[in-house]
Amino acid sequence: MDHIPYGRQSIIEEDIQSVIEVLQSDWLTQGPRISQFEKEIARYCHATEAIAVTNATAALHLACLALNVGSKDIVWTTPNTFLASANCARFCGADVDFVDICPNTYNMSADALKEKLKIAKKNNTLPKVVIPVHFAGQSCDMRAIKELSTEYNFKIIEDASHAIGGRYIDMPVGSCQYSDITVFSFHPVKIMTTGEGGAALTNDAALANKIRLLRSHGMTRDESCMLNPSDGAWYYEQITLGYNYRITDLQCALGLNQLNRIDEFVKKRHELVAVYQKELAQLPLILPYQHPETYSAFHLYVIQVDNKKTTKTRKALFDYLRNANIGVNVHYIPVHLQPYYQRLGFKEGDFSVAESYYQQAITLPLYYNLSAEQQDHVIASVKKGLA
Ligand SMILES: *Cc1c(COP(=O)(O)O)cnc(C)c1O
């Protein structure tokens, strides 16, 4: 059997045609596809504004900047995430701290957050921004986090890089009902793709304008935003320090097509997950728990080797599956254990739930084009690897 990756894109003929059309048009970048894509994402998510950018890392950086994160501030996120959820605060010079995860959902624990906030209040180390991450595509307990944000006065950026197409209490993830800004990633291993790409969503027009300005050098051609009278039709002003985080029309043409298929993508992921849940149920594994208030986008399907029920180690099963040509992966090495973060003072034992989860976790292949035959091979290999 050919190599089976843990995730990959699904590209159809219409996707290809839509990109070719842009190549034959007047604009390769900063043309009509970008604002169309933004409008469609916002509409799909029931948010008022979406700003598309080069990638989710850039979107997280701009989200922090828009919320005025700076060198005197503290930002909290989860250790069970990709590096970018923490790095975005470091880009702004802020200190980063982490909140341990819930042992069932592997998301930031609202209880741990509450306890940590109580202590931080006493120590005068409250966070300016908290970045919950919807791990594997399942929403965090946003209602509880939002309540705490009112009590302790912090802003919320949802890192929904795994979660476009998911839902939380009858609203699409991205609605920003319980947050200031939500960020998506359109990297090819995620739910839908633009090649590289990301977006920030918000219901706050002032935040959206700030993110748009910072996306392109901090410059404006809008006279109402200028500090001086315009010299003429050529005139633009740089009114703050920004970046070039622009996405292209080529990418957004692809994104528009992919967005049309998002519900189909997520539905297929649920079907594949149902097969895994059924076929793996009798094995010494801990299978992913789904909270009844969420509908996951299922970016990832993570199993844990249950070391109370088997002497097989995670590493042994992982190596067995890799040898069977299955591109299993591990999500995530806790961010605070990275050498860079250890140099900032974090150490083993700081976030024990995330650490013990990490010791047992394996991500199995899950993507739209995973065939029944391929999935059977994965399931049979897991069974053999645990035998
Ligand atoms: C993929 C990912 C990112 C970064 O996304 P890019 O688009 O590659 O920059 C950030 N956070 C999480 C949780 C991710 O999985």
Domains of the chain: 4-259 (3.40.640.10), 262-386 (3.90.1150.10)
- CA 187 to ligand 1: nearest atom: 7
Average pLDDT (327-339) is 98
With bands split at pLDDT 50, 70 and 90, how would you rate the model's confidence at 1?
confident
Average pLDDT over all residues of the chain: 97
The answer, yes or no, to whether residue 248 has pLDDT greater than 90, is: yes
Residue from 161, 182, 190, 192 to probe ligand 1 pocket by mutation (most atoms less than 8 Å from CB): 161
Confirm if 295 and 45 have CB atoms less than 8 A apart. Answer: no
Predicted local confidence at residue 331, as pLDDT? 98
Render pLDDT for 164-202 as a digit per residue (tens, 0 to 9).
999 999 999 999 999 999 999 999 999 999 999 999 999
- Ligand 1 atom nearest 133 alpha carbon: 13
The pLDDT tens digits for 214-236 are 999 999 999 999 999 999 999 99
Using a 6 Å cutoff on CB, does residue 187 contact ligand 1? yes
311 CB-contact burial (10 Å; exposed 0-12 / middle 13-18 / buried 19+): exposed
Q: How many CA atoms lie within 13 A of 58 on its CB side?
A: 22
Digit-coded pLDDT (tens) for 237-246 = 999 999 999 9
**DSSP string of 254-316?**
HHHHHHHTHHHHHHHHHHHHHHHHHHTTTSSEEPPP--TTEE---S-EEEEE-TTT-S--HHH
Work out whether the CA dihedral 38, 41, 43, 48 comes out positive or negative. Answer: negative
Neighbours of 240 (CB within 10 A): 12
Question: 107 in helix, strand or coil?
Answer: coil
Phi, psi of 15 (to 5 degrees): -60, -45
pTM of the model: 0.98
